[in-house]
Structure 1
Amino acid sequence: MGYQDLLRELATEHSIATGYTAYGGHYLGVPDDTLIKILHCMGVDLGLNDYSVDDLAAIDFDGADYDKRPSEETLQAALQRRHDQEFSRPLPRCIVTTDTESQAFNVHVRDGKPVDQLFIT
């Protein structure tokens, strides 16, 4: 998996859109620079803790400051932390659905404990 794939997967895991459909119907991807800054501001550890938000705003990760970008290893570690964090939660953070459709989701219980059917209204 390449750098952009890792960054986009990490952003998606944090519910950050990695692109959008512009007026006229064509797809535009969000620049890596923007994704890195949003993830940092959301508290994701990307090894950028030495930078204040103001300092970070002045950095151009896609241009002159390319060498200051988080490494692939840092992105992979952040992604693994996110997966571990989500797996250790008993229930998902949020589920959005309508009253006309059912929604399945994972429930994590202690090893060996049964899970009965759960209905949430």
Structure 2
Amino acid sequence: MRLLASLLALVLFLFMAHPCVGASGREMVVVFKGDQTEVPFEEDNGTITKRKPRAFRVPAFVGGIFNGKEFLVVLCDARYYGFSDWSFIEPAVRTSYGDYNTWSDAEIVVKNTRKNKKTQLWATSQP
């Protein structure tokens, strides 16, 4: 119960303190947008290309102060073939320091090894 209360307090603090998550009277900033935000994608042969996943899911973000500057880190699921949990997914991240209008390029945190048979079947059946 204490953990739940602490998480709720953190979420409320972030909504009140950071403009990029919809604080009242402030402009919203889109960090990841399906079919538009590019992420680096490593092909099976090792070459890196830019791809635009169909959808993103943002399960986590964290803010703080580092070397006297505010920062915000947004972690998401880059879902290449759709919104489904069985879609081909890789975790991606973007960061902002101070203004929340300037964001780093999206980076893949952990490469999907493509070993899950259900994901492979889903990926081959998609356009």
Q: Shorter-chain-normalised TM-score: which range?
A: under 0.3
- Output the TM-score relative to the length of structure 2: 0.22
Larger helix fraction of residues: 1
Q: Which has the higher contact order (CA 8 A, sep 6+)?
A: 1
- Output the TM-score relative to the length of structure 1: 0.23
